[in-house]
Amino acid sequence: MVGKRLSIEVIPQHYHLQFDHPNGKLYQGDAIPWLSCMESESIDLIFADPPYNLKKAHWDNFETQKQYIDWSLKWIEQAARVLKKQGTMYVCGFSEVLADLKHPSMKFFQSCRWLIWHYKNKANLGHDWGRSHESILHFRKTQKVRLNIDDIRIPYRSHTLKYPSHPQAETSQYNQGKKRQDIWTPHPKGAKPKDVIEIPITCNGMNESTPHPTQKPEALLRKFILASSQAGDTILDPFSGSGTTLVAAEQLGRKWLGCDLDPQYNIWAMDRLDRVEKRSVEEWILYDQKIAERREKVRFNN
């Protein structure tokens, strides 16, 4: 489905609709006033990849870290307000950045899990520890959060599949010292997901790649959307950049809302949304599983 493209006039400190699509809307402008005007408890899932205060782009430059933290808490408070009572929010950042935000943000949520996105295909061009991961905070408005486990299972390691059916040892942590006759067999969809997620960063040559400097891979967003939402739910991204969250939501049959300050980023997002590939949710899950299995085989053989 193709959306309607509207004016790209820049209105400082405000926002306006730039793209109207049958399954969602994309706005250009400031995220905080945009969120502030949204209805409370109207969103199922938020994915946010905000500025990190690294001073590497015009939208990523704050005078002090305190100013950055104060600004972050403003949008996080509004994001928590618009989330439904069972809603959750994922926030990306480097560990040293999110460490400053987690504790003060908890006044808006009941629990949080710290996740790691581990990638191995980023060059180390400096003279310090090479960065191979980013952190992702999974904020929950309720303690009773259940992931859609079967939709985000991961490939078993090769050594796990050497003995596909065997009883748990008496010393196993799963037996808890009790004699059991349980026979463990691999789940046909793979192992349960872990809090370290291994997906390469987007690179040149990928069809999804744009000139955006911090674009996230579609496979990463599909995992979070599958984990924490249902078909027909509404997914929101207040810093939508080149549109990866919106594209993944469209791929998986979700509604979506996005906003970005840069109208050029929105143009890239609109281009991607207009050419979203149509597959069933099951086909997307299988697609990502096959790619993950292929990566694991390459790693094992090397």
pLDDT at 11 over 70: no
Quickly count: other Cβ atoms within 10 Å of residue 55's Cβ.
10
Higher pLDDT, 246 or 124: 246
Name the least confident of 77-86, 118-127, 239-248, 278-287: 118-127
Q: Per residue, what are the HEC states of the chain?
A: CCCEECCCCCCCCCEEEEEEECCEEEEEECHHHHHHCCCCCCEEEEEECCCCCCCCCCCCCCCCHHHHHHHHHHHHHHHHHHEEEEEEEEEEECHHHHHHHHHHHHHHCCEEEEEEEECCCCCCCCCCCCCCEEEEEEEECCCCCCCCHHHCCECCCCCHHHCCCEECCCCCCCCCCCCCCCEECCCCCCECCCCEEECCCCCCCCCCCCCCCCCCCHHHHHHHHHHHCCCCCEEEECCCCCCHHHHHHHHCCCEEEEEECCHHHHHHHHHHHHCCCCCCHHHHHHHHHHHHHHHHHHHHHC
pLDDT of residue 172: 59
Task: Identify the pLDDT of residue 284.
Answer: 96
Q: Provide the b/e sequence for 131-141 (b: ≥16 CB within 10 Å).
A: eebbbbbbbbb
Q: Determine contact, residues 273/40, Cβ cutoff 8 Å.
A: no
| Full-model pTM | 0.89
Residue from 295, 217, 223, 214 nearest 252 by CA: 223
Nearest to 182 by CA among 171, 191, 174, 192: 174
What local confidence, expressed as pLDDT, does residue 48 receive? 98
Could you tell me how far CA 211 lies from the centroid of its own chain? 19
| pLDDT given for residue 171 in this prediction | 60
pLDDT of 218 strictly over 60: yes
Residue 53 Ramachandran class (φ > 0 left, ψ -120 to 50 alpha, else beta): left
Checking if the pLDDT of 175 tops 60, the result is no
The pLDDT value recorded for residue 166 is 61
Residue percentage of the chain with pLDDT more than 70: 88
Which residue type, as a one-letter code, is found at position 63?
Answer: E
Whether the per-residue pLDDT at 128 is higher than 80: the answer is: yes
Phi, psi (rounded to 5 degrees) for 258 = -140, 160
The terminus-to-terminus CA distance of the chain in angstroms comes to 42
* Cβ neighbourhood burial of 211 (10 Å; 0-12, 13-18, 19+): exposed
